[in-house]
Amino acid sequence: MDIKQQIKATLQEAEIYRSQGLITEAHARYQNAVKIINSIENLKNKDSLLKAITEKIKALNITQEKVDKGPTTPELSKKAQDLIKNLFTFSDSKDEETAALEGAVALAKFGQFDRALKELNGLLAKDAIRVEAAKNILRCYMASTSTDEAINQYHQWHSGDLFQPQQLETVRGYLVDILQKRGLEANLPSPLGMAAKAAKTVEPVIDIDAPAETEEEFLDITSIGITFDKGPRKGKMVEFDVNFQSGNTLSLIISKKDNDLIDGLEAGTKLKEVQFFSPIAIFNGAGVVVSKTQIKTGPKQGDFCLDIRIVST
């Protein structure tokens, strides 16, 4: 491509990415254009061109900042909040109190803490759902303001007479438990007449905090493609079905008639180029042969069982 055409095409690409909000991608294209332009010795308008692009990049950086900062939990209009209550109440129970509780919890899940707290506080009056309402009030405080606020709230309840001792003890156990999970120790007085029991684990009713990134588990791998770097199939990729997977170790059964395929593979052999096919994505990586055994009995007698560990992806 003619170099001017190339610059034009690159800039056009950048412009489209920018208009679609693909900021990183637009950024990369603009940088690329700068590189191309700089590589040309005597380009007319070089300076003004570069200046224009620099401006674009600056604007992109500002947009990026705004997106990064974007409010995580804005206060929504009452109408939008009503919709959330409506759409994210799942119980089909006719029980009005439970439905009201679920509605308030839905608001909290979408970060509408002020109204959620107001509604939950109202629900404390209902004996049947008082404990659940209280637990959720505590979670709201933990998520929106602070742990201290939650603890203060408990003390207030403790000195009031809204709760029956058993109810308040349940709430106490719940709060102690979530505090412990955060590595916090709090000395919360038990209600009168209730022996301080060890807090039993209570499942949180709602999970407002962004869940911690769970450790990446291995995807199910259904087959793998091994590219051989020696032997008769050197440079070729051969695909094998995975018969069994345990974590990152894959077991393949290879028919005795394909013996020549795996001739070069022994325990310890490193496989530098492996494609892993999972139901939802293909990724490249490396593996190592853990073991290779010939099956001695049964219908697959004489076939080989090859265990391969995924070492990197």
Partner 1 sequence: MAIFNLKKREIECKVVYYGPGRCGKTTNLEYIFSSYKKQVKGEMVSINTEGDRTLFFDFLPIGLGQIKGCDVRVQLYTVPGQVKYSSTRKLVLRGVDGIVFVADSLEVRREKNMLSLKDLQANLKEYGKSIFKVPLVMQYNKRDLAEQGIPLMSIEQMEKDLNRQLKVPSFQGSAVSGEGVGATLKECLKLTLQSLQREFKWAQ
Ligand X SMILES: Nc1nc2c(ncn2[C@@H]2O[C@H](COP(=O)(O)OP(=O)(O)OP(=O)(O)O)[C@@H](O)[C@H]2O)c(=O)[nH]1
C-alpha distances in Å from residue 158, one per residue of 84, 132, 200, 201 = 33, 16, 19, 21
Place of tokens 């345990």: 246
- The piece of 81-89, 148-156, 180-188, 288-296 that touches partner 1 (CB under 8 A) is 81-89
- The piece of 15-23, 26-34, 231-239, 270-278 that touches ligand X (CB under 6 A) is 15-23
**Residue 66 binds partner 1 (CB under 8 A):** yes
Number of residues near ligand X (by CB under 6 A): 3
Candidate list 3, 4, 6, 20; residue touching ligand X; CB under 6 A: 20
- Cβ(286)–Cβ(272) below 8 Å: yes
- The piece of 82-90, 133-141, 236-244, 250-258 that touches partner 1 (CB under 8 A) is 82-90
C-alpha distances in Å from residue 311, one per residue of 149, 253, 291 = 47, 20, 15
- To ligand X, the closest distance from the beta carbon of 76 in angstroms equals 17
Q: What are phi and psi of 239, to 5 degrees?
A: -100, 135
Per CB under 8 A, contacts with partner 1 among 147-166 are: none
Candidate list 43, 49, 57, 88; residue touching partner 1; CB under 8 A: 88
- To partner 1, the closest distance from the beta carbon of 279 in angstroms equals 4
For the beta carbon of residue 150, count every other beta carbon within 10 angstroms: 20
For the beta carbon of residue 221, count every other beta carbon within 10 angstroms: 19
Residue 237 identity (one-letter amino acid): M
- The piece of 116-124, 135-143, 206-214, 285-293 that touches partner 1 (CB under 8 A) is 206-214
- To partner 1, the closest distance from the beta carbon of 78 in angstroms equals 13
Task: List contacts with ligand X (CB under 6 A).
Answer: 19-21
Task: List contacts with partner 1 (CB under 8 A).
Answer: 9, 12-13, 16-17, 20-22, 25, 28, 63, 66-67, 69-71, 74, 76, 80, 83-84, 87-88, 90, 92, 109-110, 207, 210-211, 219, 222, 277-282
